[in-house]
Amino acid sequence: MGGFFGIASKDDCVADLFYGIDYHSHMGTRRGGMVVQNSDGLRRAIHDLSNAQFRSKFEGDLSSMHGNLGLGVISDFEDQPLIIGSHHGVYSLVTVGRVWNLEELVSEVLRRPTAHFSEITRIGFNPTELLASLINQGDTIADGICRAQDAIDGSASMLLLTDEGVIAARDKWGRTPIVLGSKDGAWAATMESCALHNLGFKIERQLGPGEVVRLTAEGVEQLVEPRDQMQICAFLWIYYGYPASDYEGINVEASRNRCGAALARRDNVEADFAAGIPDSGIGHAIGYATESGIPYRRPFVKYTPTWPRSFMPQEQRVRDLVARMKLIPVEELIRGYRLMFCEDSIVRGTQLTEIIARLFDMGAKELHMRPACPPLLFGCKYLNFSRSKSELDLAARRAVAKLEPGGEAHLHDYANADTDRYAAMVEQIRQQIGLTTLQYQRIDDMVEAIGVPPEKACTFCWTGDEACYRKRS
């Protein structure tokens, strides 16, 4: 997925920049970078985060970096920030999102005889460099950003560091957030609002979809007005957002509590304890326990010092190892008990299958699972929050394939909780994972519990509908 932080300050900004970027480490990605501007020009550092935390890799750079303007990123794969020379002058760029028509746009750019790309790795072209090429086609940076937003299929939020300040641009559908904060003599733009609190910033407002602003130490100038429609990713609140962050003024932890309560209201299974799969499932489980009256316990404890989020590694073998090593069972709270587990979602189901087997081996009497969102049937077209290489990696899609050859033609039936196909799919997943019972959150309940206006929520990965969410009639 990735996240970024940018700042314009009257004083040296490096400490705030460093910690502001670090607050995006939970996004679970592999590359990190930061850049600052001062009278000597731009100073940049980029490091591999595959086997280390952001802080440990970048602490050594702090003594050599100083300036009043800066930005940084923790990205999925590509090196960032890039430093670009163009008719706009020299600027630095970071982006978060996904460009599905990357190859097509690269081909269009390369039709110009003098065009070229230099940031090419084994993964392919760097989407941030492509976006820079599109921006450079505009008469101004703001015009170029709008051109880039209109050209891409997917999403791209970005920060640019220029001589005149830090430019923040939210993607055209607002699928990812950008929040602005201020304190005496400084303004910041970030994806995670929780990055602002401990640095002394006051949250000012969220950017609208497609909105572009310039930050200086004195304030904010709007360069491009927001667009009318929004499709913010609902999975922010369910899974990969940080509990202390707010998106569109809605707190992640509070929405997870509401999701758990909604699950409990539709449930009648008796259990001894309610528990959450760390980390994201905990907020849902607390809501479930509060609503149902079932005591909340922690039969799993997460070992946090060294193990990252388990969706980070590319290989399934390594993902499974991380998932196993980071969760330590508490046998006294498992043996002989009926456990109700809340989870943010079931994506592939491979790690969960092993977890359930371990719990039964440790003496659990019954194991019930309540995911806080519906079955994931469609791979996300807009963001890199999953490492799945194929939609058949998804547990729900594997269940459909096993139940019905050619079942892809009926995916919208499988996405409807009121159909026989949906019930058969859930039962297939239950058997595959080895659960006593399995009951997913309904889409209407999820959207209501999150609290974002339904017409502004992107629910594509559950419904396959690219339009804004609509409640079933």
Q: Which residues pair with 276 in a beta bridge?
A: 342
Task: Kindly report, residue by residue over 39-86, the tens digit of the pLDDT.
Answer: 889 999 999 887 778 888 999 999 999 999 999 999 877 889 999 999
Q: Are residues 174 and 281 in the same domain?
A: no
**Do residues 221 and 241 both lie within one domain?**
no
DSSP structure string for 173-240: T--S--EEEEETTEEEEES-THHHHTTTPEEEEEPPTT-EEEE-SS-EEEEEPPPS---EETHIIIII
Does any domain span residue 469? no
CATH of the domain at 123: 3.60.20.10
Last residue of a domain, one of 206, 228, 250: 228
Q: What is the CATH number of the domain that holds 369?
A: 3.40.50.2020
Does 306 map to a domain?
A: yes
User: Both 277 and 186 in a single domain?
Assistant: no
Domain shared by 158 and 304, yes or no: no
Among 174, 194, 228, identify where a domain stops.
Answer: 228
Q: Is residue 470 part of a domain?
A: no
- Same domain? 398 vs 453: yes
Q: How many helices (H) and strands (E) does the chain have?
A: 16, 25
| Token pair recorded at residue 154 | 């997917």
Mean pLDDT of the chain: 91
Share of the chain above pLDDT 90, in %: 74
Are residue 175 and residue 299 in the same domain, yes or no? no
Q: Residue 133 is encoded by which pair of tokens?
A: 């090429």
Does a structural domain hold residue 117? yes
Q: Do 186 and 241 share a structural domain?
A: no
Establish if 471 belongs to a structural domain.
Answer: no
Instruction: Tell me how far apart the alpha carbons of residues 458 and 465 are, in angstroms, rounded to a whole number.
Output: 9
Q: Are 317 and 176 members of one domain?
A: no
Residue 467 — pLDDT band, cuts 50, 70, 90? low
pTM, two decimal places: 0.91
**203 and 242, same structural domain?**
no
Q: Based on the domain organization, do 221 and 263 belong to the same domain?
A: no
| pLDDT value of position 387 | 53
Is it the case that residue 309 has pLDDT exceeding 80? no
In a domain, 468, yes or no: no
Total tally of structural domains belonging to the chain: 2
* Cα 114 from Cα 130, distance rounded (Å): 15
Q: Which residue range(s) make up the domain with 257? A: 236-463
Q: Is residue 45 part of a domain?
A: yes
Q: Indicate if 306 and 220 belong to the same structural domain.
A: no
Residues 217 and 256 in one domain: no
pLDDT tens digits, one per residue of 323-364: 667 788 999 999 999 999 999 999 999 889 989 999 999 999
> What's the confidence (pLDDT) of residue 351?
83
Of 207, 228, 249, which closes a domain? 228
Task: Answer yes or no: is 219 within a domain.
Answer: yes
